[in-house]
Structure 1
């Protein structure tokens, strides 16, 4: 989502890049200008279906009532692409669950991330912990496009509207609100690989804040 505490901004540029998108990501991806929060979906349109998230021993992910993630375009008519979209959304939710404390051990992060994306996600979560911050508000993910690279690899690009997402101090509950700018919109370029259990794990991720293709 958007708006982390200013404490996190500097670290975010380097680690967040490795984190969320890379963080999400993978091998050398980076994010440009991260001052927003990425990652969850509390039930907006296009959230993964219950059958998708509860099958195959998948961890159940919950988010705080004050944090909402909406994922648009989750049904393409192609079952494989839909699975990629669903697991990518769960990955975003998993990161936010770890940050907000609904998954304090970060079990879902390891389920939906691998490689550099996993390292980035763990670093990202630690940054919030060190800053005593959490997430609140709303994030919307849209223009999600899957390109299959074979039976076990795919690329997924999407935009994020983080204009209503903020960081919040855990002790004081003070919300860090900042003006909406072009940087409230982020473009993500990710890679997902299907593991032996049939889970599409995010392995690489790169984000570009203020990207022209994501502006309203």
Structure 2
């Protein structure tokens, strides 16, 4: 969830700063970098053949919950491909994990560390810390849609998706007041992410670039 203008101003950031620092050195934009690509990404839409996954032990996964006033919706029915469905599921858990760390339902950031690696983990930790320093949390609803997976090989996948943050807001922890702001084109964000399958079978996000106001995500 990135649409928090007043909070970001207080942190001397712009709306472009949310969860976008990546291994590519890229970041969020106000719609002027809609062609940003993750290193290694194909420009076409052809998907490679799906490798056969090894069993994943779900018992070791962190338990994730969010506060009742925060809802994340992930659209995209199951693809029918076991590997692609696993990528989609772990990416969704990654987004939930970051918000759980911000809102305090995962204060130690266990899930955040579990679903992130490399530069994506560094960026997520930095973002969580900024909310902590501002004594702020999250409320409202964010919808993720147009989620598309490209498998590069047995352990690497690329995932693009859009986020509708028009109903998601920051809130003051002390007063509980939401910082509601008008809906603009920048309420819609395009994400380009790279995920790596670790030895435990979890698809961890390793790189993430976002483009705020991207034309392909507008309603």
TM superposition score category, shorter chain reference: 0.7 to 0.9
- Superposed counterparts of 1:91-130, under 5 Å: 91-130=94-133
Matched, 1:61 2:64: yes
Aligned to 2:143: 140
Cα deviation for residue 209 of structure 1 reads: 0.4
With the length of structure 1 as denominator, give the TM-score of the two structures.
0.84
Count of residues in correspondence between the two structures: 194
In structure 2, C-alpha distance between the alignment counterparts of 1:131 and 1:12, rounded to whole Å: 15
Cα deviation for residue 13 of structure 1 reads: 5.3
Moved over 4 A (4+): 12-15
Aligned to 1:26: 23
| Structure 2: tracts of 5 or more residues without a match | 32-54
In structure 2, C-alpha distance between the alignment counterparts of 1:165 and 1:14, rounded to whole Å: 15
Aligned to 2:84: 81
Greater helix share, 1 or 2? 1
* Aligned 8 A contact 1:74 1:86 in 2: no
Structure 1 residues 5 and 14, CA gap change in structure 2 (3 angstroms): closer
Cα deviation for residue 54 of structure 1 reads: 8.0
In structure 2, C-alpha distance between the alignment counterparts of 1:98 and 1:74, rounded to whole Å: 27
Cα deviation for residue 11 of structure 1 reads: 2.6
Cα deviation for residue 74 of structure 1 reads: 4.1
SS in structure 2 of the partner of residue 143 of structure 1:
strand
Greater shift, 69-78 or 156-165, is seen at 69-78
Out of 185, 188, 192, the residue aligned to residue 185 of structure 1 is 188
Cα deviation for residue 56 of structure 1 reads: 4.3
* Aligned 8 A contact 2:98 2:124 in 1: yes
In structure 1, C-alpha distance between the alignment counterparts of 2:125 and 2:174, rounded to whole Å: 22
Deviations 1:85-113 (A, max 9, x none): 00000000000000000000101011000
With the length of structure 2 as denominator, give the TM-score of the two structures.
0.83
* Aligned 8 A contact 1:2 1:139 in 2: no
